Amino acid sequence: MPHTHGEHHTRKSKSLPEEADLLPADREDSPLTQLIRKYLNEEEVQLVWQAYRYAEHAHAGQTRKTGEPYITHPISVACILARLHLDLPTLLAALLHDVVEDTHVNSAEIAELFGKQVGDLVDGLTKLDKVELQTATQAQAENFRKMLLAMSQDVRVILVKLADRLHNMQTLDAMRPEKQKRIARETLDIYAPIANRLGLNPIYHELEDLSFKYLYPNRHRVIDKAIRTARGNRKEVIGKILEAIQNQLTQYQIAFDVQGREKHLHSIYKKMSEKSLKLSQISDIYGFRVIVKDTASCYLALGALHALYKPIPGRFKDYIAIPKANGYQSLHTTLFGPFGTPIEVQIRSEEMHNIADAGVAAHWLYKTTDAHLTKLQQQTHQWLQRLVEIQTESDDSYEFLEHFKVDLFPDEVYVFTPKGNIMALPRGSTAVDFAYAVHTDVGNSCVAVKINNELAPLRSEMRNGDHVEIITAPLAKPNPAWLNYVVTGKARSHIRHYLKTVKVEESAQLGERMLNIALRAMHIEPQDISDKQWQKVMNDYSTKTRQTILTDIGLGKRNSLMVAHQLLAHPAESDDKSTKTLDTITIRGSEGMAVQFAQCCRPIPGDPILGFINKDKGLVIHTHDCPAIRKFKLDPEKWLDVEWDADQKKLFKVNLRITVSNERGMLAKIAATIASAESNIDNVSVEDSDGSQYSNVNFTVQVHNRVHLADLIRNLRKIQQVVRINRVKGTQAEQRIQ
Residue type at 716 in one-letter notation: L
Query: What is the three-class DSSP state of 326?
Result: coil
CB 626 within 8 A of CB 730: yes
| Lowest mean per-residue pLDDT among 103-107, 250-254, 414-418, 697-701 | 103-107
Q: What confidence category does residue 138 fall into, taking pLDDT thresholds of 50, 70 and 90? A: low
Contacts of 77 (CB under 8 A, 6+ apart): 94, 95, 97, 160, 163, 164, 167
> Measuring CA to CA, how many Å separate 116 from each of 44, 74, 87, 101, 657?
16, 20, 15, 18, 65
In order of their start, the domains of the chain are 24-215 (1.10.3210.10), 220-365 (3.30.460.10), 377-501 (3.10.20.30), 504-583 (no CATH), 592-613+620-738 (3.30.70.260)
242 or 574: which leads in pLDDT: 242
Supply the DSSP symbol for 715. H
Distance CA 242, CA 626 (A): 68
| Lowest mean per-residue pLDDT among 226-240, 258-272, 348-362, 621-635 | 621-635
Q: What confidence category does residue 206 fall into, taking pLDDT thresholds of 50, 70 and 90? A: very high
pLDDT at 416: 87
Distance CA 426, CA 407 (A): 7
The fraction of the chain above a pLDDT of 90, given in percent, is 22
- In sequence order, the β-bridge partners of residue 595 are 619
Distance CA 705, CA 685 (A): 23
Query: What is the three-class DSSP state of 138?
Result: helix
pLDDT at 617: 58
Mean pLDDT of all residues in the chain?
Answer: 79
Phi, psi (deg, nearest 5) at residue 683: -160, 150
Closest among 199, 344, 194 to 260, alpha carbons compared: 344
pLDDT at 504: 64
First to last CA, the chain: 29
Q: Where are the alpha helices (DSSP H) in 60-114?
A: 72-83, 88-96, 99-102, 107-114
Residue-wise pLDDT for 11-51, tens only, equals 333 344 333 343 455 566 788 888 898 888 889 999 999 99
Closest among 409, 516, 505 to 462, alpha carbons compared: 409
Residue-wise pLDDT for 499-521, tens only, equals 777 656 666 776 787 788 778 87
Contacts of 58 (CB under 8 A, 6+ apart): 12, 13, 14, 99, 103, 105
Q: What confidence category does residue 132 fall into, taking pLDDT thresholds of 50, 70 and 90? A: very low
Distance CA 14, CA 59 (A): 9
Helix (DSSP H) and strand (DSSP E) numbers for the chain: 31, 19
Distance CA 429, CA 495 (A): 15
Question: CA neighbours within 13 Å on the CB side: how many for 322?
Answer: 17
CB 528 within 8 A of CB 575: no
Distance CA 223, CA 160 (A): 31
Could you give the angle at the alpha carbon of 13 between the alpha carbons of 10 and 18, nearest 5°? 130
Residue-wise pLDDT for 289-342, tens only, equals 999 999 999 999 999 999 999 998 988 989 998 888 777 889 999 998 887 778
pLDDT at 716: 92
Residue-wise pLDDT for 543-597, tens only, equals 888 888 888 776 667 777 788 888 887 655 444 434 333 345 667 665 444 467 8
- Of these residues, 26, 56, 98, 102, which one is catalytic? 102
Q: With 80 as the cut, is the pLDDT of residue 386 above it? A: no
- In sequence order, the β-bridge partners of residue 660 are 695, 722
102 catalytic per annotation? yes
Residue-wise pLDDT for 644-660, tens only, equals 877 667 788 899 999 99
pLDDT at 594: 47
Residue type at 136 in one-letter notation: A
pLDDT at 550: 85
178 catalytic per annotation? no
Q: What is the DSSP string of 488-506?
A: SHHHHHHHHHHHHHS-HHH
| Lowest mean per-residue pLDDT among 93-97, 380-384, 420-424, 671-675 | 380-384
pLDDT at 22: 38
273 or 367: which leads in pLDDT: 273
Closest among 128, 147, 122 to 58, alpha carbons compared: 122
Average pLDDT over residues 440-446: 92
- Of these residues, 101, 284, 461, 583, which one is catalytic? 101
Supply the DSSP symbol for 187. I
Burial of 106 (0-12, 13-18, 19+ CB in 10 A): middle
The fraction of the chain above a pLDDT of 70, given in percent, is 76
Burial of 263 (0-12, 13-18, 19+ CB in 10 A): middle
Q: What confidence category does residue 259 fall into, taking pLDDT thresholds of 50, 70 and 90? A: confident
Could you give the angle at the alpha carbon of 511 between the alpha carbons of 507 and 516, nearest 5°? 150
